[in-house]
Amino acid sequence: MASSLFRTKSIDRLLAEAGATGERTLKRTLGGWSLVALGIGGIIGAGIFVRTAAAIGLKEALASAGTVVLEPIDALVVRVPEGHQGDVLADLASRRGRVQRTDMLDDGIALVAHLVGQTLRVALPEGVQLCEVPQQERRAEIEFQFALQPTRVDALLQLLHAHDVVPDRHGFGFVQRLEGLMTGLIDLTYRHDGRWYVLDYKSNRLPRYDAAALHEAMRHSEYDLQALIYTLALHRWLRFRLGDASDGGAYDYGRDFGGIRYVFSRGIALEAAAGAPLAGVHARQFDPRLVHALDALFAGERA
């Protein structure tokens, strides 16, 4: 049967059959059912083609654009009063040249500028705006790598579930043990009033951006596990650079780590009434016992 599927005919034979007459020859006209079948086939084929082309186009666009939203947020240095948005927009426009195929972004530049402005000026739980954090007190896109010693998946999930992290996950496919190199990229780390923070930007479209909705979004997308890994990465780096307080060093997680901030830029409302609950920002500080136990587990030690 496979050979019949891939059978070919010469051009001369096709022309000869087209001109022949009889019961088993090609018809020059199509009946009603043939036209319907041809239409359905054309619709299905066109749909597949359009979806495939759209997927390829989107993939190509994302690859060309890169981190469109993060680039202006991470690189922008704001030194203007709050009301002078023109300078901010001009700086954003000048940075657009770094992104290839900017014609694809023309319709979205106003939205990006708005999201950037909202993100820079929202008052974070510790009482600071990102535009107020001095450049020497923040680092954008810190890449981290650390060795992951053989770690049993069941032991890892037991620890995570005990602290309400990814409570709905019950495995990692068929993998029973994790091992190798943990790598990642933290959008932003900054220090305020002597405490260190991890911040991640999100542009998710959500029905609401109140605390309950953000908590559900963090759980649904398992951002809580991502945030925990980011926390551990920065914790290890600070301990290495400053020294552990238990060994006479200057760093102590419980004292010096302020927590994680996930900023859902679309949900920030700067015009909200005074005293209204903060929308668009999810804040959490992981229990020191969880961080230390995960650190030991990934290091191959007994927690």
**Measured between alpha carbons, how far is 74 from 94 in angstroms, rounded to an integer?**
15
Q: CB-based contacts of 271: which residues, under 8 Å, 6+ apart?
A: none
Structure tokens at 47: 């749909």
Closest CA to 134 of 188, 79, 186: 79
Q: Which residue has tokens 């948005």?
A: 85
Q: Is 200 a catalytic residue?
A: yes
Question: Is residue 201 within 8 Å of residue 73, measured between CB atoms?
Answer: yes
Three-state secondary structure call for residue 292? helix
**Selected catalytic residue, list 200, 252, 256, 295:** 200
- Tokens 């890994």 -> residue: 229
Q: Which of 201, 186, 293 is nearest to 234 (CA)?
A: 186
- Cα 287 to the chain's mean position, in Å? 24
Helix (H) or strand (E) holding 55: helix 32-65
Radius of gyration of the chain (CA): 28
Contact 198, 227 (CB under 8 A): yes
Specify the pairing of strand 257-264 against strand 195-202.
Answer: parallel
Residues marked as catalytic? 200
